[in-house]
A and B are shown apart, each in its own frame.
Chain A
Amino acid sequence: MLDLVIKNGRVVDGSGLPSYTGDVGIKDGRIVRVGRVTEAATTTVDAQGKVIAPGFIDPHTHFDAQLLWDGAAKPAIEHGVTTIVPGNCSLSLAPLKEEHRMKLVGMFNQIEEMPLKAFEQGVVWDWETFEEFVARISKDLTVNVAPLVGHSVLRLWVMGNESMHRCATPEETAKMQELLRECLAAGAIGLSTSFVDSDEKLQPVPSRYADEIELDALCEVLSEHGRLLQIVHEFYDADLTVARVDQLANLSLKHGITTTLSPLFVNADDNGAVDKVMNRVREQMAAGARVWPQVQTRPIDISFCFEVPSLLFIRLPSWYAIMRFGTHEEIVASFADLERRPALIAEAEKNNMNALWARLTLRQVQTDANQSLVGKTLQEIADMRGQGLIEAMIELSLEEDLQAHFLSGDMGHNDNAKVGELLADPFVHIGASDGGAHILSFSTYGDTGYLFANFVREQSALGLEAAVKKITLDTANIWGLNDRGQLREGFAADVTVFDPATIDRGPEYYVQDVPGDGSRYVRDAMGINTVVIGGEIAYTETGGYTDSRRGQVLPGPLQRP
């Protein structure tokens, strides 16, 4: 007797080979048969007209904190994602000493735009080591979690405040090596580092004070277990990115490890930039290195209101300081101050930013009086009111007690032909969703649905089988998840059943579901029928989330000899 059988679907098994009509049989958390299943099962799912695929794997997320109050990482699963990788970009929640907690929270708040209140009210801090953190999240896990350990956090543990000022001594480097070894033994899938991020004081994060010797020493530890290195690089510049590709290639070849860099964007003004980077990646791969650039499917758009700091304003120091360091009352007072306003307006108009402001769309307000303006551009609103662009933005925000939400759409990475070409490239790793982060700037959820809706159905940039392979078996292979990413006997039973004609991401909307009365932007999934994790149904389109808790930490603790 099987636990579960999914019948009569179009099996897209993750290998990239042509699909076929068949069934998938599951028992004890494993796939036991793919093809024709005649054995009876406790539960049967009819997949007629649907695709049966391996569960999607999301390799770049910041769900670290959310996992402490939501072991399903909602809404990742309803989009077909069965495994997430948190701990990217040099930041993880472990290992972390008690005295460094607020420092780390400050960095998460600044870099990943996650609200401080969520940490204060959603997190019971009952761990320090990575092993304790793994035990803590394992208690209540629906989604599979393959956690990276952050380089900045390793430095903070070993060097304390000195980690934000200087290179490590040989003794400190040796301690970091030992600490990383412990994290890998406890179940970390690899190490993440950052060459670009800044903390809440706009100073470089600790990982940026590491010299080559330190990173090399840590990669030596990764090589002991064949684990991976993730970096966030200077993605805004092609020459710098090429230099990082070379750096990663050297580390990969020397230590025999896989490396990945994220994000790689298409810049509408300069397609040559991404070609330059990809040519280097091809050269380095041909030379035997493993250097995987991550490309996201979603075009860049950013929403904001003045209640919380937005990275959109980081190049406007006066504005950013108000949003970053002011209380609600102080922000209101700053914007209401008519003496300060000309200087604010001048700063916002500088550098031809008016083109950006004019295109902003008002997406949400709270007063009845302004509801009729929702959906209009800031230019239209300013014209209607006889105000300047910036003045209209400030006045609207004051009228809405800072709850006027603006959308800056199509900010880049929106050249369908070029992005489609990249996504189909065998040397590109589809990822960089940033799930769980930037929750008040955009919804990262639904990148997988968008891959099928836009790049498979609309643009025909990839076939269905190729797109599935990109976000299942390719990802599993790059990350060394050896029994995931394929519908194959003996593999873990993570399965996503979806309708290839309707799978998509729904519209972005605003919900208040973050601890501490926090809000975020999310998107519902479309066309996802059933999601199975660890052999049990975790989500269905009709019934929503089940109470299944079969998520695992991957690759899991090392077997002790």
Chain B
Amino acid sequence: MGTSHSQGLAPARKYVRPLPEDTWDSIAARELTQLPAADASGVLQSWNFHVFMRPAPPEDSPRAGNPILPSDIIFLEPPAAAT
């Protein structure tokens, strides 16, 4: 997803675009299978402060409790070390 013609390009930080009902847990379960399930969501959040830190949806919103938007970029790895 999101990188359909990335062949031949320099490697960039890996990411996915969320599915419509995605949560931290569902993305972590699908994409971070190498990590213990108990840690995976927290790790994912730490790589995605741009989503994690945003103001929460209002309590009466259908999205209450879930800040992830379908247009977001969700990184699957930490930033590359500075060179």
A287 close to B55 (CB less than 8 A):
no
| Contact flags B36-80 to A (C-beta < 8 A → 1, else 0) | 000000000000001000010110011100000111110100010
B13 close to A208 (CB less than 8 A):
no
Q: How far is the CA of A211 from the CA of B17 in the complex (A)?
A: 8
Q: How far is the CA of A215 from the CA of B82 in the complex (A)?
A: 33
Q: How far is the CA of A201 from the CA of B55 in the complex (A)?
A: 10
Between B12, B61, B70, B71, the greatest number of chain A beta carbons within 10 A of the residue's beta carbon is seen for: B71
Nearest opposing residue in chain B for A195, CB measure: B71
| Contact flags B1-32 to A (C-beta < 8 A → 1, else 0) | 11111101110110101011000000000000
B2 close to A287 (CB less than 8 A):
no
Q: How far is the CA of A83 from the CA of B55 in the complex (A)?
A: 38
| Contact flags A233-267 to B (C-beta < 8 A → 1, else 0) | 01001011011101101100100000000000000
> Which B residues are CB-close (under 8 A) to A243?
2, 12-13, 15, 73
Expressed in whole angstroms, the minimum distance between the Cβ of B14 and any Cβ of chain A is 10
Expressed in whole angstroms, the minimum distance between the Cβ of B81 and any Cβ of chain A is 12
B73 close to A202 (CB less than 8 A):
no
Expressed in whole angstroms, the minimum distance between the Cβ of A354 and any Cβ of chain B is 23
Known: A167-B70, A195-B71, A249-B5. A242 touches B57 (CB 8 A): no
Nearest opposing residue in chain B for A254, CB measure: B4
Interface of A is mostly: helix
Expressed in whole angstroms, the minimum distance between the Cβ of B28 and any Cβ of chain A is 19
Partner among B9, B17, B50 whose Cβ is within 8 Å of the Cβ of A240: B50
Expressed in whole angstroms, the minimum distance between the Cβ of B66 and any Cβ of chain A is 11
> How many of B's residues come within 8 Å of A, CB to CB?
31
> How many of A's residues come within 8 Å of B, CB to CB?
34
Nearest opposing residue in chain A for B47, CB measure: A239
> Which A residues are CB-close (under 8 A) to B19?
211
> Which B residues are CB-close (under 8 A) to A211?
17, 19-20, 70-71
Interface residue? A212 (CB, 8 A) = yes
A239 close to B12 (CB less than 8 A):
yes
> Which A residues are CB-close (under 8 A) to B3?
246, 250
Interface residue? A280 (CB, 8 A) = yes
> Which B residues are CB-close (under 8 A) to A284?
9
> Which A residues are CB-close (under 8 A) to B4?
250
A208 close to B5 (CB less than 8 A):
no
Nearest 10 CB-CB pairs, A to B?
A211-B70, A243-B73, A167-B20, A239-B13, A208-B71, A208-B69, A202-B55, A165-B62, A242-B12, A167-B70
New contact pairs (10) apart from A166-B20, A210-B70, A234-B73, CB-CB < 8 Å: A165-B61, A203-B58, A211-B70, A215-B71, A234-B50, A240-B50, A244-B73, A246-B12, A250-B3, A280-B12
